[in-house]
Amino acid sequence: MKRNTLSASASDPFQGFLAAARTLPKIPTAIVILVFLTAICANLLTGMLLPEANQIDLRLRYTAPWPLQGSSPTHLLGTDRLGRDLLSRMIVGARNSLAVAVVAIFVAATVGTILGLIAGYLGGWADAVMMRCVDIMLSFPAILVALVFVVTIGASFWMVVTILALLLWAHFARLVRGEVLSWKERDFVALAKVAGASTPRIIVQHLFPNIFNSVVVLATLQIGWAIVVESALSFLGAGIPPPEPTWGNLVAEGRDVLDSAWWISVFPGLAIMLMVLSFNLFGDWLRDVLDPKLRQL
C-alpha cells in the first residue's frame, strides 16, 4: 500500500498528496494538533476557563479527580498539595515542555544541517574534523555531563534547550553529511559548478532543498525523544525550575504522595506517553511519505 502511494506521488503531485493524506494516522495527528493548540492558548485557557496554574488554595489540597468522591467539576483532574488545579498545570506544562523540545530541535537541526552541508560538500579536513566531533558526541555520556552543567550553572529554560541541542545536533550533522555525499556527485551540481555558481550558492540553492525533507523527518522523529529527555531532566530537578510546571516535574511532585494522591503523577505521565507516541507515529508516517529512504532510521 505504501509503495502505491509513493509511485502515485511521482506521477501526479496532487494525486500523490491525496493518497498520502489518506494514510495519515488520524488519532495521533489529532492529538499532536490538539496539544499544540492547547499549549499555544495556554494563557487564555487557564485564565478564563480554568483556574490559574499557580493559584494556591490550601482548602482544596489533594482534591481527587472528578467524578471521584470529594471532587468538584471545577478541578477535573484534581489538585496538588497546594490546591493548584492539575489540569491547568498540565496545560501550562505542555507549553513549557513543547517549547523546550521544539526550540531545542530547531537549534540542533539548524546547526547540524549547516555543519553537515559544509562538511559533506567541502570534504577533506573540514569533513574529517567534523565527523570526529560527531563520533565523540555520540559516544559521550552526554546526559551526565548535562547534569554537571545544570548543577554548576543552574537550571533554566535556555539551559535545558542548550543541553538538548548539544545532545541532538550530531544526529542531524551525520544525516545531512551522508545525504550531501550522494547528492553532490549528481550532474546538476556539476552543471551549476560549470555555470560558475559559487560554493555557498551551490550549497544553499542546489543541495539544501534536496536534503530538506530528510531534516524535517528526523526533526519530527526526534521531538518525542526530546520530550522524554526534557521530562527526565525535570523529574531529576534539572529542568525548568518550579513553580513553573513541566510534565516531568509534575510527575516528580506526585512521587511522594503516590499512595494517596496518585493522580498528580499519573495524568502528566499519561500526557507524556500519549504525546510521544503520537509524535512518533506521525513522524513514521511523514517519513514514509516524504523520505522512504530513511525507513531504516
Residue 69 or 296: which CB sits closer to other proteins?
296
Residue 32 or 202: which CB sits closer to other proteins?
32
Residue 41 or 266: which CB sits closer to other proteins?
266
Q: How far is the CB of 148 from other proteins (least distance, A)?
A: 5
Does 25 contact other proteins by CB under 8 A? Answer: no
Does 293 contact other proteins by CB under 8 A? Answer: no
Burial class (CB in 10 A: 0-12, 13-18, 19+), 27: exposed
Q: How many residues contact other proteins, by CB under 8 A?
A: 44
Which residue from 121, 172, 225, 285 is in contact with other proteins, where contact means CB under 8 A? 225
The C-alpha angle 216, 273, 35, rounded to 5 degrees, equals 65
Rg (CA), the chain: 23
Calpha distance 233→224 (Å, rounded)? 14
Among residues 170, 169, 165, 176, the alpha carbon closest in space to that of 118 is found at 176
Of 168-207, binders to other proteins (CB under 8 A) are none
Calpha distance 263→86 (Å, rounded)? 9
**Residues 226-265, mask of contacts with other proteins (x by CB under 8 A):** --x--xx--xxxx---------x--xx-xx--xx--x--x
**Residues 110-139, mask of contacts with other proteins (x by CB under 8 A):** ----------------------x--xx--x
SS3 category, 85:
strand
Q: Is the peptide bond before 67 cis (omega within 30 degrees of 0)?
A: yes
Phi and psi torsions of 256, nearest 5°: -75, -15
Residues making contact with other proteins (CB under 8 A) = 132, 135-136, 139-141, 143-145, 147-153, 224-225, 228, 231-232, 235-238, 248, 251-252, 254-255, 258-259, 262, 265-266, 269, 272-274, 276-277, 280-281, 296
